[in-house]
Structure 1
């Protein structure tokens, strides 16, 4: 594999990891074969928003311990430098940035990254335009002010302001022409969170930047608008020859570090054998390696199947969970869903011809399995993984209660309180915005109420 740099990014928005989580991540990286760790959490205020302020001595001692641990496990710790509203024409701004680099070096850190992503694509200070012809050349100048201060054994990474898209802009051409060949440039693909990344597109960007890019893969990160999506899933949509077309491959983890580990095990499997990679098998194995028993692994995969919405499986693909055949067989056994209930879940997969004969039993068994898996997930042995998945575990348990109540309403159609209980529980479960199967079980339960009313001969 050409991409010998295999990294993990702590670069998300939201609560940064604790120092204990960072040390745990280093041990995880050693286990699965990642060898680069970029420290750049967006919500570390001293890293980004208030970058001109120094870290305290307490924090630098923590960085020093992290750097020592990284060396012990064979991981290169990369210290991220960010500079919101950097004034390129102000020597004082450069001096502050250099002082932070040198303080990190004093802690034993030798590799750095200048991260200018998610910033305006124009100068923020008018006087900078009088010194530099454009933003790209100003950024090239800044990179070259930092390079002479690096350890010869260290690496330097750069995330440009334009880090995704077609990769053929004047800005990127200027960067490619001006940046020192030693500088490694991050690229996320066609989109910020790219459902697919191909080797051919990376080669086109490499021509513009005059170097193979380092893939910044925004999976399994789940920050900002994705915070209600679990992102325990297998990596998909990556070409088998992708590693040969880049100079590094970094997986962007999320604030839920233990949950991210599960997904990143599949990324590690892909990087070890891109041609032989099997996503479904990789996820099953990742669940087994991340839990303490077969029951825990099965429960985690069950939850992942239902909470499958990610940038890799957005839109209708997010609803392609494995319980639809059981639901369809259930309603087929009752002559179809009640017509008065209205349409099914928008975007649900079409009924499969091989779903099986009409039968209520598979769905009833699946509802009990939901309950049992939720109970298992609520007692996971790994306390951090338990904490990470807790909101989605609660949602799974809530849907199991809703489905049970819906079935109870069907089984006791003459009991109006049974129907009321369904709707009361629905309101409670929907207060939890964490995404598990979308409206699958909301729709199912309401259809149960409609069918029970029809049996009871109820009228508005």
Structure 2
């Protein structure tokens, strides 16, 4: 059974979505079955850093249009309220939040969220400590005060300052005892970006909060330190029993709205039927649904295989892409890679027995060029733009591999070896992660092998 609240969060760091992207997300949500949208982008200054400032009438008109679209799409639009360095003592700051909440209500918005994540875990104003025993008591008071403004047909969410971990702390227990029962509390699981989440992971936090938490699942978000990781991949590591133990499930995409939708389609499939959810099959269907042709879907999957680094993939498996058997078969056909080239790529899977053969790698290198060309000309302009930095990296690696094979095939041509090293320097200027050092190492080994072959030929008697 699906959770009642199935949300999408616009709550990442970095460039917020455009209004066009937000409307497109609402249409997408209606299509795949999400029913709640939370507006809380960290880099909207009026939402967060300068929260005491009002939105302009132009912005309120845009919010009203978005809320109307959401209502027509069967989606509950949740307006996020944030308050850095909030003063709990005195009425000034509370009145700022009330004014903003009421302005949102005047535009037809009924549901709200108070977001106190990623702030200091202590009072920032000494006067507050004289009024409240601790931060949890103060935050519960603030949430309850704002809830008074929310009509019975609206929903109210709260993101605590401690929003992940074991789930048992004095802070969480105070929230549980003090928060009104109508307040739904977000929780990201054992970690900020949790590799896995199960019903067992929610037991302690449910007891502390005296209510099942609403999952804030930080996938496929790729902000801050993850901005070079693509996260176009299926949802993994969520057990079938998780949803029944939660008060709802919200997925957190990143700034790449169209690319995030590929992963969100797999999340929607999990939410529809967690017991029958199969990540790889869901991702195949998501790629097909997100692109215009099977060829485009295959290109997206090809890139995803190489750009697989994410919190859902164990660190020691980030390089476990499908190229290794063909790379090993290639070098086996040449009696091994040059010893002077040094060790293989750290983190690669252990070599398995292979049949020596150069042909599969040469064919795969051509396929990489074709897939990169397809990605560079995707029919969807937003998806094409989202993927562009990783597509450019794939184009670069395809060129490197082509040049490296050319250097091997023409070992007498010094300039061919120079081309390889020059192209490597250019590709490495792009920090977007595609297969790590796999192709860099392969190309350098080709240069070593070409030099070795050239020197051996030069030493042979005429």
Task: Report the TM-score when normalising by structure 2.
Answer: 0.98
- 2:431 is equivalent to residue 409 of structure 1: no
- CA distance in 2: counterparts of 1:213 and 1:432, whole angstroms: 40
Residues 2 and 247, structure 1, Cα contact 8 Å, conserved in 2? no
Query: 1:321-354: CA deviations, max 9, x gaps?
Result: 111111010011111111000011101011123x
- 2:38 is equivalent to residue 38 of structure 1: yes
Residues 2 and 272, structure 2, Cα contact 8 Å, conserved in 1? no
- CA distance in 2: counterparts of 1:394 and 1:237, whole angstroms: 30
Partner of 2:219: helix, strand, or coil? Answer: coil
1:198 to partner: Cα distance: 1.0
Aligned pairs for 1:95-110 within 5 A: 95-110=95-110
Runs of 4+ in 1 over 2 A off after TM superposition: none
Which position in structure 1 is the counterpart of 2:16? 16
- CA distance in 2: counterparts of 1:52 and 1:204, whole angstroms: 36
Aligned residues: 457
Which position in structure 2 is the counterpart of 1:121? 121
- CA distance in 2: counterparts of 1:32 and 1:370, whole angstroms: 31
In angstroms, what is the RMSD of aligned CA positions? 0.9
Partner of 2:449: helix, strand, or coil? Answer: helix
- CA distance in 2: counterparts of 1:382 and 1:151, whole angstroms: 40
Query: 1:241-276: CA deviations, max 9, x gaps?
Result: 111010100000100000000000000011111111
Which position in structure 2 is the counterpart of 1:166? 166
Query: 374, 381, 384: which one pairs with 1:383?
Result: 381
Which position in structure 1 is the counterpart of 2:86? 86
- List alignment gaps of at least 5 residues for structure 1: none
- 2:284 is equivalent to residue 259 of structure 1: no
Query: 1:211-260: CA deviations, max 9, x gaps?
Result: 00000000000000000011100000101111101010000010000000
Partner of 2:418: helix, strand, or coil? Answer: helix
Aligned pairs for 1:339-378 within 5 A: 339-353=339-353, 356-378=354-376
Query: 1:275-318: CA deviations, max 9, x gaps?
Result: 11111111111000000001000000000000011110141211
Residues 2 and 246, structure 1, Cα contact 8 Å, conserved in 2? no
Which position in structure 2 is the counterpart of 1:235? 235
Query: 1:379-416: CA deviations, max 9, x gaps?
Result: 00000000000000000000000000000000001111
- List alignment gaps of at least 5 residues for structure 2: none
Partner of 2:453: helix, strand, or coil? Answer: helix
- CA distance in 2: counterparts of 1:406 and 1:55, whole angstroms: 56
Residues 117 and 159, structure 1, Cα contact 8 Å, conserved in 2? yes
Partner of 1:12: helix, strand, or coil? Answer: coil
1:204 to partner: Cα distance: 2.0
Aligned pairs for 1:142-161 within 5 A: 142-161=142-161
Task: Report the TM-score when normalising by structure 1.
Answer: 0.98
- CA distance in 1: counterparts of 2:256 and 2:292, whole angstroms: 19
- CA distance in 1: counterparts of 2:319 and 2:276, whole angstroms: 27
- CA distance in 2: counterparts of 1:177 and 1:152, whole angstroms: 21
- CA distance in 1: counterparts of 2:166 and 2:63, whole angstroms: 37
